[in-house]
A = this chain, B = another copy of it.
Amino acid sequence: METFGGEKSRARIAYDWRGGPLARMIRQRLQAARLRPSRQRISLAGLLFVAGDRHVTAEQLHREAQALDMPLSLATVYNTLRQFVASGLIREVAVFGSTVWYDTNTGSHCHYFDEGRQRLEDIPSDLTRDLKIAAPPGYRIVGVDVIVRLRDDETLQ
């Protein structure tokens, strides 16, 4: 397994992605969002944006970061995710179970949630396009969330 940035693990790095095209893209996005490109933010953005759309919880992301020897704290993961949401780089998804999910796909789309494996996934076609939603008078719509909850046939008794 490759390792990512951080002073103490420098020796083990196969190659440093932090000069490559992904890092450049990330720096641009952070700059556009007026967030300093700190090492932690770049590391987390790297995890989030390296491989297409992702759906993660704060804990999951922190565990990944630790597995790759990225030196950052859980508090930073929470802070950073909150900032990324605030600046539109990612978005939150509400699911049952009191854990917030973060989604790198900020476009309009809906989700499957696999209750057995606790995994969130995009639904290929954007169902919300079929919805005729109107805001009640005096209100604006700030978001529409559609979750289709699933059980796989085994888990389903």
Q: Give the total of A residues in contact with B, Cβ under 8 Å.
A: 36
- Minimum CB–CB distance from A128 to chain B (whole Å) comes to 9
Residues of B within 8 A of A136 (CB): 112, 150
The complex places the Cα of A150 from the Cα of B100 at a distance, in Å, of: 19
Other-chain contact of A142, B99, B100, B146, B150 (Cβ < 8 Å): B150
Number of copies: 2
Say whether A144 contacts B142, CB under 8 Å. Answer: no
Task: Map CB proximity to B onto A135-148 as digits: 1 under 8 Å, 0 otherwise.
Answer: 11011111111111
Task: Map CB proximity to B onto A95-123 as digits: 1 under 8 Å, 0 otherwise.
Answer: 11111100000000000101100000001
Residues of B within 8 A of A141 (CB): 148-150
Residues of B within 8 A of A139 (CB): 112, 114, 150-153
Say whether A147 contacts B114, CB under 8 Å. Answer: no
A94 within 8 A of B: yes
Say whether A145 contacts B135, CB under 8 Å. Answer: no
Task: Map CB proximity to B onto A79-97 as digits: 1 under 8 Å, 0 otherwise.
Answer: 0000000000000101111
The complex places the Cα of A152 from the Cα of B144 at a distance, in Å, of: 15
